[in-house]
């Protein structure tokens, strides 16, 4: 039995506890500040990625070229700006198109006054109290709104009231947030991944399509095979990224609608090039890839690879009308690419020189360059008719081992339901014999997945010395990249994974930061300033 003094002590303790908790402020769930209109969200779990020592090593000592970017000082030393170092940071994107896109960041705070001092001292900003929140405009397109728990950094069109929008998000009820309306997003939030990414496929396709149109209008790269991925035009996708010792692992899940699932099932039945790709490869190729994409993208990719000779057959047969293409009616949606090595090609190039009078000039000079020794395979429909057309159009060309030979630069033929192109006689031999044997690490992945991509980064860098010219230390540390995607399961989910392996066992995040640092130095954006 309890005596009176024990009961009295227990009552006082309960009263004290009730008073303590009733006086404390309610802790905000920062993910509830994400708008339901968001089309993409990235969650960075710094608590999982770093301990404080690793944070200082990765961001403090190796920031390098990243100091050229806006808000770099805050990234370099977040605790000095009152930001919690070990927590979850949320970044979101909203907007129907690239011209009215808004980007926001929901950041947990450890000290609101330190952020106040940082904003005033670093940006010389005028901080205003509004609706119980501190607000400020920093730089030209950025605003920040915060209280004692959370800050929202917001960027968007200059004529929009981003401060008021941020205040609304900080006061948003849980029932109004994205997490209350999307179960897939909630699953992404609840993982232990270092970085979780969620987005609407349709909206991402719109951004890509608009971006490619902008590039074409600027004549920056009109032949790049960009455009909407109509195969996944709806549904949602999530990525889970983890920075391990020696590698980066990125898991992917694509959630399909019922209509897309039915289409995907039909495409998966076409999976016929896997065996050919494996048997035409060397044990350790530079690159192998097999996937299903729409014929329009395949045509763009062929043009990007300078294969107009095949796209426009009038270059081979001058009697044909202009722009005759073999692929308009015959391409299926399956493609494979194998690069086993390289070949040396002599080219005439303009190189800088000095004339007899000491003036700078350009002269023509023969140079030897290495080009990929590739094999391209395409699945075609009505192969009998396609083969008849190919033989008719290429009747004037010589043959080598059953392949049409175009200027000793391109060899092509039809075998069964496949159209093959290769750049060398080695490729012809590999396709005819099909005695290749992939390594034991790659082969099981090739045969057990619907799509596959493998690249030996070290060999590719040696092949193209121009890439090494930039001196990307992080890039040169990459050993290989392996990506694969399975068939859709019964729930309409396609799972895949990408693994980036490095040549050492250091934390892969450090290598990523080195790559980003070197890229920032190379790009050196003119409208970005180093904010220390």
140 near 159, Cβ under 8 Å?
no
User: What pLDDT is stored for residue 425 in this prediction?
Assistant: 92
Q: Would you report the helix, strand and coil content of the chain in percent, each value rounded to 5?
A: 35, 30, 30
Q: Is residue 335 scored above 70 in pLDDT?
A: yes
pLDDT band, very low/low/confident/very high, at 207 (cuts 50, 70, 90) = confident
Q: Taking residues 222-232, what's their average pLDDT? A: 52
User: What pLDDT is stored for residue 58 in this prediction?
Assistant: 54
Percent of the chain whose pLDDT exceeds 70: 74
pLDDT in tens, 369-401: 777 889 999 888 888 988 888 888 888 899 999
pLDDT band, very low/low/confident/very high, at 107 (cuts 50, 70, 90) = very high
**Residue with more model confidence, 69 or 117:** 117
User: What pLDDT is stored for residue 13 in this prediction?
Assistant: 38
User: What pLDDT is stored for residue 11 in this prediction?
Assistant: 44
Rounded CA-CA distance 175/196 in Å is 22
Rounded CA-CA distance 514/520 in Å is 10
Token pair recorded at residue 307: 């294969």
Rounded CA-CA distance 228/28 in Å is 38
Contacts of 3 (CB under 8 A, 6+ apart): none
Q: Taking residues 91-113, what's their average pLDDT? A: 92
**Residue among 50, 43, 53, 59 at smallest CA distance from 108:** 43
**Residue among 143, 116, 66 at smallest CA distance from 530:** 66
Average pLDDT, rounded, for the chain: 80
Q: Is residue 297 scored above 90 in pLDDT?
A: no
Q: Taking residues 469-475, what's their average pLDDT? A: 58
**Residue among 102, 98, 108 at smallest CA distance from 45:** 108
Q: Which residue has the tokens 């909203």?
A: 94
Rounded CA-CA distance 53/301 in Å is 45
Q: Taking residues 211-229, what's their average pLDDT? A: 61
Contacts of 245 (CB under 8 A, 6+ apart): 505, 506, 507, 508
Q: Taking residues 126-139, what's their average pLDDT? A: 92
Dihedral sign of CA atoms 395, 304, 290, 490 in order:
negative
Q: Is residue 18 scored above 50 in pLDDT?
A: no
| CA angle 175–180–186, rounded 5-degree value | 150
**Residue with more model confidence, 224 or 386:** 386
User: What pLDDT is stored for residue 526 in this prediction?
Assistant: 46
185 near 39, Cβ under 8 Å?
no
* Phi and psi angles of residue 325, each rounded to the nearest 5 degrees, phi first: -125, 135
Looking at the DSSP bridge assignments, the partners of residue 373 are: 341
Q: Taking residues 337-356, what's their average pLDDT? A: 81
Q: Taking residues 237-252, what's their average pLDDT? A: 94
User: What pLDDT is stored for residue 399 in this prediction?
Assistant: 95
User: What pLDDT is stored for residue 4 in this prediction?
Assistant: 47
Q: Is residue 19 scored above 90 in pLDDT?
A: no
| CA angle 246–249–255, rounded 5-degree value | 180
Q: Is residue 171 scored above 80 in pLDDT?
A: yes
Contacts of 20 (CB under 8 A, 6+ apart): none
User: What pLDDT is stored for residue 159 in this prediction?
Assistant: 58
Rounded CA-CA distance 63/407 in Å is 50
196 near 239, Cβ under 8 Å?
yes
Rounded CA-CA distance 118/73 in Å is 10
Q: 3-class SS at 147?
A: coil
- Count of alpha carbons within 13 angstroms of residue 370, beta-carbon side: 13
**Residue among 227, 285, 235 at smallest CA distance from 257:** 235
User: What pLDDT is stored for residue 200 in this prediction?
Assistant: 92
Q: Taking residues 168-179, what's their average pLDDT? A: 95
Within 10 angstroms of residue 22's Cβ, the number of other Cβ atoms is 7
Lowest average pLDDT, out of 130-139, 220-229, 373-382, 509-518, goes to 220-229
Q: Is residue 16 scored above 50 in pLDDT?
A: no
Q: Taking residues 509-532, what's their average pLDDT? A: 60
Rounded CA-CA distance 427/39 in Å is 44
Q: Is residue 65 scored above 60 in pLDDT?
A: no
* Phi and psi angles of residue 377, each rounded to the nearest 5 degrees, phi first: -125, 135
Please compute Rg for the chain using Cα positions. Answer: 29
């Amino acid at each position: 039995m309890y005596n009176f003094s024990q009961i009295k002590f227990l009552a006082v303790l309960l009263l004290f506890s009730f008073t303590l908790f009733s006086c404390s402020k309610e802790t905000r769930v920062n993910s509830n500040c994400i708008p339901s209109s968001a089309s993409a969200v990235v969650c960075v779990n710094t608590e999982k990625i770093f301990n404080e020592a690793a944070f200082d090593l990765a961001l403090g000592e190796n920031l390098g070229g990243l100091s050229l970017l806006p808000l770099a000082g805050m990234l370099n030393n977040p605790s000095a700006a009152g930001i919690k170092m070990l927590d979850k940071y949320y970044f979101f994107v909203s907007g129907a198109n690239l011209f009215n896109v808004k980007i926001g960041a929901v950041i947990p705070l450890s000290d609101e006054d330190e952020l106040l001092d940082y904003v005033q001292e670093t940006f010389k900003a005028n901080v205003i109290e509004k609706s119980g929140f501190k607000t400020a405009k920093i730089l030209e397109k950025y605003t920040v709104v915060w209280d004692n728990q959370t800050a929202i950094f917001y960027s968007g069109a200059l004529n929009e009231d981003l401060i008021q929008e941020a205040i609304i998000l900080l006061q948003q009820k849980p029932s109004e947030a994205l997490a209350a309306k999307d179960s897939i997003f909630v699953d992404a939030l609840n993982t232990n991944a270092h970085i979780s990414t969620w987005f609407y496929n349709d909206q991402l396709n719109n951004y890509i399509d608009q971006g490619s149109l902008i590039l074409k209008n600027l004549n920056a790269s009109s032949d790049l095979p960009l455009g909407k991925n109509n195969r996944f035009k709806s549904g949602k996708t999530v990525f889970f990224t983890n920075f391990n010792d020696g590698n980066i692992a990125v898991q992917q899940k694509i959630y399909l609608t019922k209509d897309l699932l039915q289409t995907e099932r039909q495409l998966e039945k076409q999976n016929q090039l896997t065996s050919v790709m494996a048997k035409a490869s060397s044990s350790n190729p530079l690159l192998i890839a097999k996937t299903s994409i729409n014929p329009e993208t395949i045509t763009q990719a062929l043009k990007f690879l300078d294969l107009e000779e095949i796209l426009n057959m009038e270059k081979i047969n001058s009697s044909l009308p202009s722009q005759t293409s073999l692929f308009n009616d015959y391409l299926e949606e399956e493609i494979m690419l194998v690069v086993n090595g390289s070949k040396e090609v002599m080219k005439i190039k303009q190189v800088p020189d000095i004339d007899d009078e000491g003036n700078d000039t350009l002269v023509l000079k023969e140079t030897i360059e290495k080009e990929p020794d590739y094999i391209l395979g395409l699945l075609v429909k009505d192969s009998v008719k396609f083969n008849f057309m190919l033989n008719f159009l290429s009747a004037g060309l010589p043959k080598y081992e059953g392949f049409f030979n175009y200027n000793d630069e391109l060899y092509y033929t039809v075998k069964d339901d496949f159209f093959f192109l290769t750049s060398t006689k080695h490729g012809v031999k590999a396709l005819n014999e099909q005695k290749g044997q992939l390594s034991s690490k790659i082969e099981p992945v090739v045969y057990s997945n619907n799509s596959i991509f493998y690249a030996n980064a070290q060999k590719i860098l040696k092949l193209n010395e121009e890439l090494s010219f930039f001196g990307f230390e992080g890039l040169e540390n990459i050993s290989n990249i392996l990506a694969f995607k399975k068939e859709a399961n019964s729930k309409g989910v396609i799972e895949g994974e990408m693994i980036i392996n490095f040549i050492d066992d250091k934390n892969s995040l450090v290598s990523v930061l080195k790559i980003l640092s070197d890229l920032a130095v190379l790009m050196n954006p003119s409208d970005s300033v180093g904010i220390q």
